[in-house]
Amino acid sequence: MIALPPNAPSGVAVAEGLNTGVSCFPSRSSYHAFVASFREDGFELCADLCAVDYLTHPGRELPEGVSPERFEVVVNLLSLSRKERVRIRVQLPEMDPRVDSLFDIYPGSEAMEREAYDLVGVLFDGHPDLTRILMPEEWEGHPLRKDYGVGRVPVQFKEAPGPR
């Protein structure tokens, strides 16, 4: 198990999975400071950032003291110099799925946060350009949410026979 940075906010649940490595579960309010402490401790790269909708899987395993919410933002940080990886998972409530942007800490997270916003609807406070990145600007809703209607847009393929 890796050691938490000395300046990391306290009270963060930590779990080590058999094949998943170390996962940390900061609160939404301590998320930004917690990630910043890893950056200062030598984690040079934000390798991945995504959002997950657990609407249909509410019974997932979480460490003691972590309350499951519908949405989760998952961040994977790497220390290339020390060959270490840490996963940070922050819970976001259904009625207010927002968290601070990591753009000021890891500028490369800009596109990943836009994708999480576009497809799942998570808002990132302080993001410089939180606009759609994959879906058209006029698109309504967020297609990777578990309650999003599937197949709402009819598709007509070129040279396909029409309805009979």
CATH code for the domain in which residue 62 is found: 3.30.460.80
Query: pLDDT tens digits for the chain (164 residues)?
Result: 678 898 899 889 999 876 777 899 999 999 999 999 999 999 999 999 999 999 988 778 899 999 999 999 999 999 999 999 999 999 999 999 999 999 999 999 999 999 999 999 999 999 999 999 999 999 999 999 999 887 655 666 677 666 66
- Parent domain of 64: 1-164
- Give the count of domains, the chain: 1
Return d(Cα 157, Cα 46) in angstroms, integer: 39
Give pTM, 2 decimals: 0.88
Quickly count: other Cβ atoms within 10 Å of residue 156's Cβ. 7
